[in-house]
Amino acid sequence: MKRLGLALLVLSVAAGCGQQQSGGAGDEAGAPDSGKLRIAVIPKGLSHQFWLTVKAGAEAAAKEFGAEIDWQGPAKETQVAKQISIVEDMVSSGVDAIVMAACDENALVRPVQKAMDAGIPVVTIDSGISSDIAVSFVATDNVEGGKTAARELARLIGEEGEVGLIPFVPGAATSEQREDGFLEGLKQFPNVKLVQTSYSQSDVAKGMSVTEDMMAGTPDLKGIFAANEPGAIGSAQALKASGKAGKIKLVAFDASNEEIAALKEGSIQALIVQNPYQMGYQGVKAAVDHLAGKPVEKRIDTGVTVVTMENFNEPDIQKLLFPGS
């Protein structure tokens, strides 16, 4: 009896999983239409604010260039297999072009190749693939982002003093690009000295403890650049707890709700904000241009925006930080 119950449990769990996996994807594809270009836009996930902003940008471009958007994506960024089947469904439904952010840089190479072989150009946005077969890659140039952070931090500390760097994971591409950009950017400021690089491992608690160690090891620390969200939240928290908020300048990448709150209360002085709206817009524009036979840059940088309390209330910045409202 017990065993039967267990078996039933396993079965029902399996069935539950199955249900979640199926459905969705190109079900409502098809219906070729009035000669408007049909462009599939495939994000890595559906729920995050980031992707909703990408969608808004894609729709704006579609409206401007007379195209139609087919918005389909996996529910979560980890559902690689689901994303692959969505790409395949889009290919068989005969869209004119695909604009997508890859859930996995390797796993999506083959589906992209298949689409290109079928004569459907693919533009990657935000997260590219490990091969350069796509028409274009539209994303933040993280090296440039790192340089911008270095310039901003130097400005905040009066171009003089010792600073620390908190990248996230050693070996992760984005982390190293931002780190390289930051080092490159600091070269313009001979009086700013990077004294320490400590990784947050994308963990808020580690972000706190490495910041505390930096403060203890370098009593004269003037500023910190935290290269992603968890490290920034942890660093801001540590500065606040030790009463150094505002005295040690903190520049942070991205703009989560927690980071924006820290900016407002003064434990973060500047946010380096990516531009998902431009990723959607430029991605669709690149696809349309390519279909029209116009040349398209292989790599399009959507840029970063520096947000401080001085420009916080400007309408453009508000739109960038709170695209939903």
| Cβ-based neighbours of 131, under 8 Å, separated by 6 or more | 109, 112, 113
- Do the beta carbons of residue 315 and residue 284 sit within 8 Å? no
Minimum distance of other proteins from residue 321's CB (angstroms):
16
CB closer to other proteins out of 46 and 107: 46
Within 13 A of 67's CA, how many CA atoms are on the CB side?
30
CB closer to other proteins out of 210 and 268: 210
- Do the beta carbons of residue 317 and residue 74 sit within 8 Å? no
DSSP states of 264-301: HHTS--EEEEE-HHHHHHHHHHHHHHHHTT----SEEE
CB closer to other proteins out of 29 and 194: 194
Minimum distance of other proteins from residue 170's CB (angstroms):
6
CB closer to other proteins out of 138 and 233: 233
- Do the beta carbons of residue 276 and residue 57 sit within 8 Å? yes
CB closer to other proteins out of 56 and 195: 195
User: Taking the mean position of all CA atoms in its chain, how far away is CA 73?
Assistant: 16
| Cβ-based neighbours of 241, under 8 Å, separated by 6 or more | 208
**Would you state the structure tokens that stand for residue 188, as one six-digit string?**
């313009």
CB closer to other proteins out of 115 and 204: 204
Within 13 A of 249's CA, how many CA atoms are on the CB side?
22
Applying CB under 8 A, the residues found at the interface with other proteins are 47-48, 76-77, 170, 195-199, 201-205, 208-210, 212-217, 219, 229-230, 233-234, 237, 241-242, 256-258, 261
